[in-house]
Amino acid sequence: MKLLEYEAKEVFRRYGVPLGMSAVATTPEQARDASMMIGRPVVVKAQVGVGGRGKAGGIRPADTPEQTYEVAKQILGMRIKDLTVHKVLVEERLPIEHEVYLGVIVDRAARCYTVLASSEGGMNIEDVAARSPEKIVRHNIDPVNGFRSYHANGVARRLGYGGKKMQQLADILQRLYRVAYEMDAELTEINPLVETADGFIAADARLNVDNNALYRHKELEAKYLESFEGELTPREMEARAMDLTYVELDGDIGIIGNGAGLTMATLDTVMLYGGHAGNFLDLGGGASPDRIGKAVEFVLKDDRVKALFVNVLGGITRCDDTAKGIIEARKKLGDNKPIVVRMMGTNEEEGKRLLHDAGIETDDTMEEAAQKAVQLARGV
């Protein structure tokens, strides 16, 4: 989940990361009022979850409340990389002496969090790495020992700082690591961290939280669903609320598989035999009978779907659990639409027996099942 800049800064503020005065606005009038409250020149920043806002004209200065009104009026409603700007952040303009980059990322190769820092802030870290790799400081964080003060001091010294500013920068680094660790973040970034005569201030903020950890951050779950409004169909929004990985398509054959690769192959096989998938639904690994039943029921309730094809390779997801879920969904909905099942793997014979006893036959190959699904959707 990618938090918008103002949302990330709300989190940073809780952890004591130094920030400038700012306010969020959804109208030009609110932006003008925010500028008056701040009482000094400001920067108006589009709040969308993509990079390159400045190059697209989504970040602009304003010297007075009247200018802030006009700038906000121009930015609100504009499109940046196919996203519409609904909010702007009005933030005090900082007296910049130097810019620094700080980030904490998940280094999957090293299997740990890694601190990235550079004396060249305000630009993409990838560009710095390509042009001047020696200017990037890396520090892998031991998952057991964590990120101690002497580690942070070492990173600050390698950036060329000493004395009071070294201690200030090290303190911000430790706070940034706490944000990453406690928020289950995949990316935590300040770019740039602005150096002023009085110290450091985070002029920007990025925070990407691992979707799999949202159950530990209830305050973010509602925002996660809201972030897809306007981008997803009503059924896709409903599926996300049910924790189903679902994409709505324009065909009339419902597709349920376990694993993205198998589900995609199922769509391709249906198309090979002249059919058109009405959806993509991936059960994932280790799906319970309840989750499988919920998925089957959800797809069968789609008025466009004329037949359902369930394709499962039993491993962590067992074939008998798949059968139980299908049978339970059929009991709830009745025998209103045909279901084609192909399953193989763990507890395959037991799963097939359960389906046979419930009057649902299975096919041995994906090709046979796909052909049958296409024929049933056509009413053949």
What is d(CA 21, CA 36) in angstroms, rounded to the nearest whole number?
A: 12
Q: Is the pLDDT of residue 64 over 80?
A: yes
Strands 83-84 and 79-80, by their bridges, are: antiparallel
Q: Is the pLDDT of residue 104 over 80?
A: yes
Q: Burial code of 269-279, b = ≥16 C-beta within 10 A, e = fewer? A: bbeeeebebbb
pLDDT band at 62 (very low <50, low <70, confident <90, very high): very high
Q: Burial code of 65-99, b = ≥16 C-beta within 10 A, e = fewer? A: bebbbbbbbebbeeebeebebebbbbbbebeeeeb
CB-based contacts of 234, cutoff 8 Å, min separation 6: none
Report the pLDDT value the prediction gives residue 75, as an integer from 0 to 100: 97
Calculate what percentage of the chain has a pLDDT beyond 70.
Answer: 97
Q: What are phi and psi of 201, to 5 degrees?
A: -140, 135
Q: What is the mean pLDDT of residues 11-33?
A: 97
Q: Is the pLDDT of residue 321 over 60?
A: yes
Domains belonging to the chain, first-starting first, are 9-17+97-227 (3.30.470.20), 21-93 (3.30.1490.20), 232-377 (3.40.50.261)
Each residue of 134-157: pLDDT tens digit?
Answer: 889 999 999 999 999 999 999 999
Each residue of 231-253: pLDDT tens digit?
Answer: 678 899 899 889 899 999 999 99
Each residue of 86-97: pLDDT tens digit?
Answer: 999 999 999 999
pLDDT band at 16 (very low <50, low <70, confident <90, very high): very high
Each residue of 322-380: pLDDT tens digit?
Answer: 999 999 999 999 888 999 999 999 999 999 999 999 999 999 999 999 999 999 999 86
Each residue of 284-313: pLDDT tens digit?
Answer: 888 999 999 999 999 999 999 999 999 999
Report the pLDDT value the prediction gives residue 124, as an integer from 0 to 100: 81
pTM (predicted TM-score) = 0.70
What residues are annotated to the active site? Answer: 101, 189
